[in-house]
Structure 1
C-alpha cells in the first residue's frame, strides 16, 4: 500500500494504484510501549462526500471500523435511555405501598377533637412564657421556660423528660447605664454589630448626651457631635449611621411607638463597627428626653456587654407507640418546636409570637398521649433556635448525623420522621413546608421524595374541612405540590429558618408546619407581647385532626432514603510568631469565630443566620451540622470562618488576610464531607471603621475594597478587612472595617 501526503493527512491508496477515497482518511498515531511503536489507524468521515456518494461508505470503511462506530452509537443511545430513566425516577413522586396508615379519628369525630383546642388554653401557655422578660438561650429566663415545659411533659404521665445540653455562644451583660448629674438611667445593649457588643471600657465613656430627634441632619444642625452620644427616637432607622459619620461616639434609641421588626435590622451592621448602641423603653426614656430638650447633659456610659459561652438545653419526652412490629420498637417520630425567644434588644425579648409553636406542641402532646400513634412520638422542645438554629443542629448532629447509618436506611438512627412547628398568629392558615431559608436544600433532592406526604395531607384536610364546615383553602396549603405554580417561598413573606432543615440534611424525612402569609411584623422585638389566639387555635385544631390520621403509620414514610449532607467543621485559631517557629502555631484563646456564606444573610425573622462560636483556651472550636456546599444553597460556593478577639467592645485580634494568613491557610472552606478541619490565623490589630460607603454617582453600595501599603503600593504582609457585600437582606449598612498592625500607613481604594 502506498500513499501520498494531502493537507497533512495520509490518504489511503488501494494496492493497485486506485485513487484515494474521499470518504475515508487515515491518520497514524504512535503508541510507545517499551522500545516498540505500534501504528493505529483512525478513521474519519467526510460527510459532504458521503451524502453525494453514499455507496462509497461501505467500500471505504473496513468492517471492523464500522462495527466500532456502531458499537459506540449503541452505547450513546443506551446512555441517553438510562439518563432518561434515572431522571424520571429521581423526579417523579414516590409512594410506599407498605405505608399502612392507621386512621385514629373518623370524620364524625373531627368537630369533637377540634373543640378541645381553645384560644384560652393556648394563650395560657403563651402568657406564662412571655411573662419572662427574656428567654434568650443560656439565660435564667430560658432555664425558667425549660422548667415550665418539663412540668408540662411530666403531666403527660409517659415518663421522665430527657435534657440534652450543648454549648451556645450568646451576647450577655450585667451592667448598662448612663450616669448623669441628674441621675442614673438604665440602658439595654442592642445586639452586637457583627462581633462587637455594645460595651464600653471599664472606666466608661465620658460623653455628652444630645437630643437628635429622629436622627435627621436638620435636627442636629449646629450641634457639636464629636464625641457625643446621640439620643434618638425609634423613627431614626438607619439615619444613626450618619450621626456616627459626623463624630458621634454612641447611640441611645428611645422607644417612641411599638417598633416593628425591621427597625431591629436597621440598628446594627454586620461589619463589626465599635459603636455602642443602647435601647430605652418609652417609660425609661421619657424623663431623659424631657431633660435633653432643654439642655445637653454630661454623662458617663457603662456597659459590660460581652460574648459568653452558655449552656443551651433541649428537652424531650417519648410517648410510646402501639405497634408490635419489630422495626417500630426502635423508631421515633419527632414533633418539635422551639421555646427560646429573640429580640434586637436581647434582655427585652418576651417572645409572645415566638411561643406559638411551643404552645401548640404542649397542647397536641396531651392529645397524642391519649390517642397513641403506631410509632413512638418524641415531643421535642429546642432552644438556640435564634442562634443559627443551634439547638436543632445539635440535636440532629448528636442523635443522627455523627453516627454511621446504612445508606438505604430511610429511618437513620431510628428517626422515622421529623415534623417542626413554626407557628404564629398573624393568619389562620397553616402550610406544610419541605424547605426553608436557612439551608435552602435543592428541591430536586427533597421534593419528589416527600411529595406523596403532601398529597395525603391534602386529602385528609378536605375531609376535615367538610366536617368543620369550612373551605380547605381557609385551613391549609400544601407547598410541596404547589397549586397555580406558587412555590413554598411565595407563602413566606419573611425569611424563615426552620428547625426541620437541620434534620433534613442529616437524612431524616423532615417537614415543617408553618403559618402562611404572615410577615410576623412585631416578632423579635421588645414589644412582642400580643397574639391573635383565635388564629392560632384554628391552626392547632387542624393539626389535631390531621396528624393522628395522615402521619400515623406502621410502615415507612419514604420509599428511598434522603440525602445525608451534614458536616461538622472543627478548627484552631492560631497566630504567627517568628520567634517561636516558621509556621503559625501559637494558640489564640477565647476568639469569637463566625461562619459566613457566599450569599450572606443577616437575620431571618429574628434568627441570626451566621453561626457564632467561642474558641476554648487552646483556640479550638467546632460548628456542627452544616450542609454540604453541593446541597445547601445558602452555603453554595464556600463558607468563610473568621476569628476575632473582642475586649470591651474593641476588636484586638482579627483574621490575617496576608502572606502567612489566608493566602497560605485559606479560611474559605467548601464543606464536601462529614468531617472538615481548618486553621484560622489571627493577628493583634488596630481597627479603622469606614462609614457611608456609597457611590454618589449611582447610589450603589461599594462592594470591593483594596488595601495597599502607602510606600510600595503592594498588599500588606499582615492585614484584614470586612465589607458588607450586597446580597439578599432588605437593609445593608454601607460600612466596612480595616484591621492593620499599629503604625502602618495604608492606601485604601
Structure 2
C-alpha cells in the first residue's frame, strides 16, 4: 500500500513538472503574430529620423545645458500628447557647466570658444580670472617637430583637433593654453584623447573651422590673444521621465522600456550627438505604437539621464522608485525592464545585462535567472509566430529587412542574439559601454538591454553633428526587431515570471550571489591637530568608482561624482561583494576663483588612507567610510616613462578597460627633503598607463619626487633640484602650484648631477667602473646637444637627444652606480660586525688591562681600528650615515649578547622548575662551553709565544693582501650596435615570418614612445616602420569578431594588421617589392594605392581577393 501511494505521488509530481516545462516552453499564441505584423507595419523610420534630427539640433544635451532641458520638455510633451500618464523623477548629479568661454583678439573682439571636459573629471578647463594672454602660434597636428622654431613658453597654442594627445606636448613645453580647431569628422578616440584622467591643470578650448581659419591668419602675423574660460562643476537637478500606459487586462504586470536622452561630448557645450539620440528616438516611436495599439500589459516608458556620471540617473531611479512601493509590495510587477541603446553600424541586435558602469559580474546566475524571457528570443522566439498571411514574423521581417538593406537574413540570430550567457557578458561589443538597465538588474529586476551587435559608436563624443553619418536602414531594421519582441512581451499571456523571486530587492543573497544595494555613507574630513581627531569638510567633491586595474576604474564614465553636504556627509548606493568589484573613493576641493585643487585625499601614513578604509567590498546592506583630506598644493610632472623601455609601465586594453595589456611596476614616491622620509600628509594621482602625474603636497614642505619602475630598489626617474655645485639637490619648496615644463630635461639634469657627484666621490677613492664612465660621458654629450637644441627652439631634436640621454643615465644610475653604494653599505656593515669582537680580542691580546683601564683601552683600540678602516676602505666615506651604521652594529652585538644571556637564564629557570616538579630525574655532568675556554686560552697562548704569533699574523696578512690588492672584479656594460641583415628570400607561396623573442604579443607591447626612442637612435640612417595588430574582443562562445563593412555586406575579421603607408607602398616599390611579389600584388597596384593615399589623405586598406569579393568592393572603394 505504501509503495503504491509513493508511486502515485511520483507520477503526480512528474506530471506537474512536465506541465510546467511545457507551459514555460510553449509557443506564443497565434495573436502574437498579428501584433508583431502590426508593429512591422506601424513603425515609421521617418518618425525616428525626425526625432533624431530634433535632438541633434539642440546644441548640447549634456546634463545641465539648455539642450538637455529642451530634450526633457520635448519628451514630456510628446508622451503626454500620446495619452501617457507622465511623472518626472528628480535626482542630483554633477556636471561641468560652462559659464563663459571666449578668445579676445588684440583689438577687443571676442570670439566664441568652448571649454573641454575636465581632466580627471575634477579639474575644469579654467583660466584665472584675468584669463591667459600670450602670442598665438599654430602647430598643426601638434607633433614635437611642429613646435620647432616657435617660442612655446607662455604662448597660446593653436592645434588641429585631430591631433590625438599631442596637447600634452604643448603643456610640457610651457604653453598656457591650447585652442583646438575643428576641421571635420573625428572618431571616438580623438574625443577620449582630449582629456586625461590625471587632474592636470591645463586650459583646453575648442573653436569651429571658420574661427580656426581666422586664428591661423592671426598666428601667421604673430598676434597676441587672450583666452578666458570659466567652468564650474555644479551639482544640478537631473530628470528621469516616467510615463505609464495602463494595459487592457494584465494591468499589474509591467513591461518597462527605457532609453537615455542626454549625451556626452569632450566639448560639453557642443554635443549634437545624433548617434546617441537613436535610442531615445526609437523609444518615442515605440511609445507611439503602443499608444495606438494598447497592449494587455501595462507599458512603462522611462527616459533616463545622468548616464555619463556613473549611471547616476538609473541608480537614483532604482533607489527612489523601484525599491519602493508599489513595486516592492507586488501591486505592480515588472515582467521585463528593457533598455534600448542602439547605434547604426549593424542591423543585428545583441541582448546584454551588464556593462562597464557597475560590472555586475553574475553572468552564470543571471543566464538562468532570465530563462523565462530568454525563450522568447531564442528557441520560442516571437519571430516564429504565424501571421494572417501564412508567413511567420521572421519571414515578414526578413523580406522587409532584405529590401531595406540589400542583405540576406537566414535565421533569427541574424536579427537578435541572446548574449546573456554563463560567460563573456560583453558579447561581441568591441568597445566599453554602459547600460542604464544594469543598476536595475543589480536590484534583482528582470532588466536587460538591446544593443547593436558589434557596436562601435565610431563618431561618439565629438563636437560635430554626426546626423548625416547615420545608416538609417540599419536603425530601421533594429527598430522593427525590437518592436516585434516588445509587442510579444506586452501581450504574451504565457509569459510566466515568479515575481516573489524576481521582485526588486535592497540587499539579499540569491542562488549563491548577492543582489541589491549597500547604502554607503561617508564623511569628508580633515585631521584637526589640536583636537587629535577629524573635523568635517563641507561641500567636497567625491568620486565613487568600481575598482579597475589597481589605480582607477579604467573607464572614465564609471566614476560617480557627488558633493558632500554642509556637514561633510554623503551617501550613495553601491553593489555588494562577489557581484560587483571593490568600490574606491576620493574627495577634492576646487577653489572657485583660481580653479586650482586646494584640498585632496590624504594618502599619508599617520592620518590618511593608510589608516582608514581604502575601499569597500560590502557584505551587508550598509557601510560607512571616512575620506581623510588635507590642504594641498598641486605639482604636475610630465614624461613619466620607464627609461629602460621608454614606455608607460602599464598599457590599458581599450576594448576592456578593466584589464591591462602590459602590467609592470610603476610607483611614484614623494619625500620630505629635510627628513628624507615620507611626508605626514601627501597625495597623488598617477595612472600607470598615462605619462603624467600630479602630486599634492602640504604648503611649505620641501619635497623631492621619485618614480620606481620594475622594482623598488632604485628610482628610474628623480626630481631633486640639483645643480653642478650641489649634486644631491636642494629639494623643491612647495609654496605655489608647480608645473614641471620640460620635465624630461629636469629628470636628465638631476640624474646626471647625481651620478656625476656620487661617482666623483667614488673615483676619488679609487673606485672605478668603466660602464659608469662611458654611460656618463655619452649622456653628458647628449644632454649638451639637447640644451643647444632647446636654445635654438629645435624641440624635436632636443627630445630626441633627451630620450637617449635619460635612457643612458637612468640605467647607469640603477644598474651600475647604486649597486656599488649598496655593496659599500653591505661591506661596511660586515666589517663593522667583524671589527667589534676583533677590538675586544685585540685589547686582550696586546694590552690586557682590567677594570676602568680595560674599558679605556678598548675604546682607544676601537677608535684606531675604525680610523684605519675609514682611511683604507671607501665604504665609510661614501656612506651618508657612517656613525649610525657603527651604532647599529654595536647595538646588534648588545642585543645578541642580551639574547644569549636571556636564553641562558631561561634555561636555568626551566631546569629549576622541572626539578621542583619532577625532582632530580636525570644524570647530568658538569658542562662548560668550549668557546668560553678556547678564546681566553688561545689569547694567553698567543701572548706567551709572541714571535710565533707575530709570524703567523704576518703570513695571514700577506696572503690576504696578495689576494686582494692586485685584483679588481666588476661587470662591464656596453651598448652594441648590430644588424639582422636584409631578408631577401623570395617566397614561393604567401608566407609569414614569425620572430620570437622581443615583441611577442600580447605581453611585450610596443609603446608609441618606444617607437620615438628607436627613431631617435636610428636618426637618418634608416626608416622606422612600426606595425600594429588589432585583435577584436574575444569571447569563448563567439571567438574574435570584428565586422568590416562594404557594399551591403560585411566580413568578419579575426585580426587586422596596421602598417605604415611607407612600408606598404613606398618602400615596397623602392625595394623591389619582394612582399608584393609574394602576395601577387604588383607594382602598378601599389602605385595606384600611393596615388589614392596622396590625393585623399585617407587610410588605405589591403584586402585579399576573397575578402574583396565578400565585401563587393574593388580598388578605390570605401570600407568601414
TM-score range, shorter-chain basis?
A: 0.7 to 0.9
For the residues of structure 2 that align with 1:455 and 1:498, how far apart are their CA atoms? 22
Question: What is the rounded CA distance, in whole Å, between the counterparts of 2:347 and 2:326 in structure 1?
Answer: 41
- The separation in 2 between residues aligned to 1:713 and 1:536, in whole angstroms, is 63
CA shift for structure 1 position 310: 0.8
Residue 520 of structure 1 corresponds to 457
More deviation, 180-189/411-420: 411-420
Partner of 1:499: 436
Output the CA distance in 2 between the equivalents of 1:96 and 1:510: 24
Q: State the shift of 1:215 in Å.
A: 0.5
CA distance in structure 2 between the partners assigned to 1:350 and 1:590 by the alignment: 32
1:548 counterpart = 2:487 = yes
Per the alignment, residue 616 of structure 1 pairs with: 565
Q: Do the aligned partners of 1:104 and 1:549 also contact (CA within 8 Å) in 2?
A: no
Contact (CA 8 Å) 1:270, 1:602: kept in 2 or not? no
C-alpha distance 105-525 of structure 1, shift in aligned 2 (>3 A): farther
- Correspondence for 2:575: 627
Kept in 1, the 8 Å contact 2:136–2:218? The answer is no
Q: Provide closer, same or farther for how the CA distance between residues 510 and 743 of structure 1 changes in structure 2, counting only shifts above 3 A.
A: same
Greater CA drift, 487-496 or 379-388: 487-496
CA distance in structure 2 between the aligned counterparts of 1:481 and 1:584, rounded to whole angstroms = 48
**In 2, Cα distance between the equivalents of 1:620 and 1:96?**
54
Deviation (angstroms), 1:643: 3.0
1:249 paired with 2:176, answer yes
Q: For the Cα contact (< 8 Å) 2:264–2:273, is it kept in 1?
A: yes
Q: Which residue of 1 aligns with 2:600?
A: 654
For residue 149 of structure 2, the aligned residue among 209, 222, 241 is 222
Aligned to 1:641: 586
Q: Which residue of 2 aligns with 1:534?
A: 473
Query: 3-state SS of the aligned residue for 1:629?
Result: coil
Q: Which residue of 2 aligns with 1:398?
A: 320
- Spell out the pairing of 1:479-490 with structure 2 (5 A cutoff): 479-480=419-420, 487-490=424-427
Q: Does 1:344 align with 2:273?
A: no
* Structure 2 counterpart of 1:435, from 354, 361, 366: 354
8 Å Cα contact 1:104/1:548 also seen in 2: no
Distance 1:534 1:377 in 2: 27
Deviations 1:343-399 (A, max 9, x none): 010010111111111111111112222333333221111111121111111101112
Q: 2:528 aligns with which of 567, 577, 586?
A: 577
**What is the rounded CA distance, in whole Å, between the counterparts of 1:275 and 1:672 in structure 2?**
41
Instruction: Give a deviation string over 1:273-322, Cα, whole Å, max 9, x none.
Output: 00111111112211101221x23322222111110011100111111123
Matched, 1:478 2:418: yes
Distance 1:646 1:412, change over 3 A: farther
CA contact (8 A) 1:595 1:610 kept: yes
In structure 2, C-alpha distance between the alignment counterparts of 1:358 and 1:697, rounded to whole Å: 50
Higher fraction of helix:
2
Provide the C-alpha distance between the structure 2 equivalents of 1:158 and 1:413, rounded to a whole number of angstroms.
17
CA distance in 1, matches of 2:67, 2:323: 30
- Tell me which residue corresponds to 2:76: 150
Separation of aligned partners in 1, 2:518 and 2:465: 35
- TM-fit CA distance, 1:592: 1.3
Partner in structure 2 of residue 63 of structure 1: none
Q: Structure 2 matches for 1:74-223, cutoff 5 A?
A: 97=23, 103=29, 105-107=31-33, 110-159=36-85, 161-182=86-107, 183-194=109-120, 195-223=122-150
Q: Distance in 2 between matches of 1:672 and 1:276?
A: 43
Are positions 1:276 and 2:276 aligned together? no
- 1:722 is aligned to 685
Instruction: Name the counterpart of 2:937.
Output: none
Residues 595 and 642, structure 1, Cα contact 8 Å, conserved in 2 = no
Partner of 1:12: none
Helix, strand or coil for the counterpart of 2:375? helix
Q: Is the 8 A contact 2:126 2:230 kept in 1?
A: yes
Q: CA deviation at 1:578?
A: 2.2
Change (3 A) 1:134 1:101: farther
SS in 2 for 1:746: strand
Deviations 1:63-89 (A, max 9, x none): xxxxxxxxxxxxxxxxxxxxxxxxxxx
- 1:15-30 equivalent positions in 2, closer than 5 A: none
Counterpart for residue 592 of structure 1: 541
Aligned residue for 1:576, secondary structure, equals: strand
Q: Distance in 2 between matches of 1:666 and 1:412?
A: 41
Show the counterpart of 1:231. Answer: 158
- Could you tell me how far 1:552 is from its partner in structure 2? 3.8
Return the alpha-carbon distance in structure 1 between the equivalents of residues 90 and 249 of structure 2: 31
The question of 1:465 aligning with 2:404 is answered no
Contact 1:591–1:646 (CA under 8 A) maintained in structure 2? no
> 1:629·1:638 contact (CA, 8 Å) conserved in 2?
no
Cα separation, partners in 2 of 1:637 and 1:602, compared to 1, 3 Å: closer
> How far, CA to CA, are the matches of 2:417 and 2:74 in structure 1?
32
Q: Quick one: structure 1 residues 426 and 467, their matched pair in 2 at CA, closer, same or farther if it must change by over 3 Å? A: same
SS in 1 for 2:62: coil
- Tell me how far apart the structure 2 counterparts of residues 284 and 676 of structure 1 sit (CA, whole Å): 52
CA distance in 2, matches of 1:645, 1:150: 36
The question of whether the paired residues in 2 share the 8 Å contact of 1:313 and 1:391 is answered with: yes
Q: 2: distance between equivalents of 1:637 and 1:103?
A: 46
1:457–1:550 Cα contact (<8 Å) kept: no
- Please give the alpha-carbon distance, in whole angstroms, between the structure 1 residues aligned to 2:571 and 2:351: 32
CA–CA separation in structure 2 for the residues paired with 1:669 and 1:113: 47
Which stretch shifts more, 430-439 or 184-193? 430-439
Q: CA deviation at 1:424?
A: 1.3
Q: Is the 8 A contact 2:299 2:490 kept in 1?
A: no
Instruction: State the superposition RMSD in angstroms.
Output: 2.6
**Which moved further from structure 2: 209-218 or 568-577?**
568-577
**Does 1:384 find its partner at 2:332?**
no
How much does 1:201 deviate? Answer: 1.4
Q: Distance in 1 between matches of 2:419 and 2:196?
A: 33
- Unaligned runs of 5+ residues in structure 2 are 1-19, 385-391, 400-408, 503-509, 650-665, 707-1120
Instruction: Tell me if the contact between 1:176 and 1:189 (Cα under 8 Å) persists in the aligned partners.
Output: yes
Is 1:110–1:467's contact at 8 Å kept on the other side of the alignment? no
Structure 2 residue 643 is the aligned partner of structure 1 residue 696: yes
C-alpha distance in 1 between matches for 2:263 and 2:612: 38
Could you say which residue in structure 2 is the equivalent of 1:730?
A: none
Q: CA 1:285–1:434 in structure 2 vs 1: closer, same or farther (change >3 Å)? A: same
1:696 positional shift? 2.7
Structure number with higher relative contact order (C-alpha < 8 Å, ≥ 6 residues apart): 1
- For structure 1, the residue ranges without an aligned partner over 5 or more in a row are 1-93, 727-732
Contact persistence 1:642–1:667 (CA under 8 A): no
Shift of 1:171: 0.1
The separation in 1 between residues aligned to 2:646 and 2:459, in whole angstroms, is 30
Q: CA deviation at 1:405?
A: 9.0
Deviation at 1:264, TM superposition (A): 1.1
User: How far 1:525 moved relative to its partner?
Assistant: 1.5
Q: Name the structure 1 match of 2:676.
A: 713
Task: Kindly state the Cα deviation for residue 333 of structure 1 after the two structures are TM-superposed.
Answer: 2.5
Q: Could you say if the C-alpha distance between residues 505 and 404 of structure 1 is closer, same or farther in structure 2, counting changes exceeding 3 Å?
A: farther
Where does 1:322-333 land on structure 2 (aligned, <5 Å)?
322-323=248-249, 329=252, 331-333=253-255
CA-CA distance at 1:487 after TM superposition? 4.5
Change (3 A) 1:110 1:670: closer
Seen in structure 2, the aligned counterparts of structure 1 residues 501 and 512 have a Cα distance that, compared at 3 Å, is: same
